[in-house]
Amino acid sequence: MTAEETFEKLGIELPPAPQAAGLYKPLFVHDGLVYFSGHLPLLPDGEMVKGKVGGNLSVEEGAQAARQVGLNVLATVRESLGSLDRVNRVIKLLGMVNAQPDFTQHPQVINGCSELFRDVWGEDCGVGTRSAFGVSGLPAGACVEIEGVFLLGE
């Protein structure tokens, strides 16, 4: 089953692809690698999931926001490349969590995105390397930001 077929089977609707909010490209392809810039948890209505995980947001709410980031990444991929099927595998994710200083569950938050990608591309191709860490703040007060690299199919 292709990534597009799997996505359709999951019954998930993609939000509109977010537009760059600064001087950068949301996605860049070079030598068979797809680099995507940091994406934020923008909801389909344009609202941002804001706050500090471990403060006014729970781990579960942070993970749901990270999943929304993943959906926004997929929307960017589809808009830029025409199809999720062009991606062969996830190479690397870097997840930043806007968190309280004593918060330690950053990986559980970023799992929201990682689990979505695993569901779309499968255990072998949807899970890559990953880093997850806390930061004192993110653009527009977002609670999570994720960037990464995919491998293009041949």
In a domain, 108, yes or no: yes
In a domain, 139, yes or no: yes
Quote the domain boundaries for residue 63. Answer: 3-9+26-152
Reply yes or no on whether the pLDDT at 154 is more than 80. no
Per-residue pLDDT at 1: 86
Q: What is the mean pLDDT of residues 119-147?
A: 97
Q: Is the pTM of this model over 0.95?
A: yes
Q: What percent of the chain has pLDDT over 90?
A: 95
Q: What is the mean pLDDT of residues 20-30?
A: 95
Q: How many domains does the chain have?
A: 1
Within its chain, how far is the Cα of 81 from the centroid? 16
Give 58-95 pLDDT, tens digit per residue. Answer: 999 999 999 999 999 999 999 999 999 999 999 999 99
In a domain, 60, yes or no: yes
Residue 126: CATH number of its domain:
3.30.1330.40
